[in-house]
């Protein structure tokens, strides 16, 4: 039994562990900037035929929540630039844009 366990552990140590962050190709990278008034400007390249919903990460729960004050944006293949208002005394939150087909 000991030899079997040792063999399994040895095989696992030889294979090693590899972690890789996988991002779907159609999730755009969002550029963000916040001014002193708390206005956050977000920009991303859109894909024609995609609808984009904006999410922000809750700093307390670390869960993603839809930014309800923003509509769904329709991709045209051009750059989309929008603004969101946040508390200027807090750090810039994490934003994400999730595409969907229309």
Does 87 map to a domain? yes
Does 61 map to a domain? yes
Does 17 map to a domain? no
End-to-end CA distance of the chain: 58
Does 90 map to a domain? yes
Q: What is the mean pLDDT of residues 42-68?
A: 94
Q: The CATH number of the domain where 29 resides is what?
A: 2.60.40
Q: How high does pLDDT run on average in the chain?
A: 84
The pTM score is 0.71
Does 66 map to a domain? yes
Range of the domain at 47: 24-101
Query: How far is the C-alpha of 64 from the C-alpha of 96, rounded, in Å?
Result: 8
Quick count: other Cβ atoms within 10 Å of Cβ 25?
Answer: 7
How many structural domains does the chain have?
Answer: 1
Q: Look at 95 and 11; give whichever has higher pLDDT.
A: 95
Instruction: With a cut of 90, say whether residue 59 has pLDDT above it.
Output: no
3 state SS of 63: coil
The model's confidence at residue 7, banded by pLDDT at 50, 70 and 90, is: low
Q: Where would I find the beta strands (DSSP E) of 3-77? A: 31-34, 39-45, 50-57, 64-66, 73-74
Instruction: With a cut of 70, say whether residue 17 has pLDDT above it.
Output: no
């Amino acid at each position: 039994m000991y030899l079997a366990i040792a063999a399994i552990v040895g095989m696992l140590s030889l294979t090693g562990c590899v972690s890789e962050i996988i991002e779907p190709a159609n999730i755009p990278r969002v550029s963000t900037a916040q001014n002193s008034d708390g206005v956050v400007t977000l920009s991303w390249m859109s894909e024609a035929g995609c609808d984009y919903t904006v999410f922000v990460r809750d700093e307390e729960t670390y869960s993603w929540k839809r930014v309800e004050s923003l509509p769904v944006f329709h991709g045209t293949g051009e750059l989309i630039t929008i603004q969101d208002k946040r508390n200027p005394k807090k750090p810039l939150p994490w934003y994400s844009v999730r595409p969907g087909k229309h």
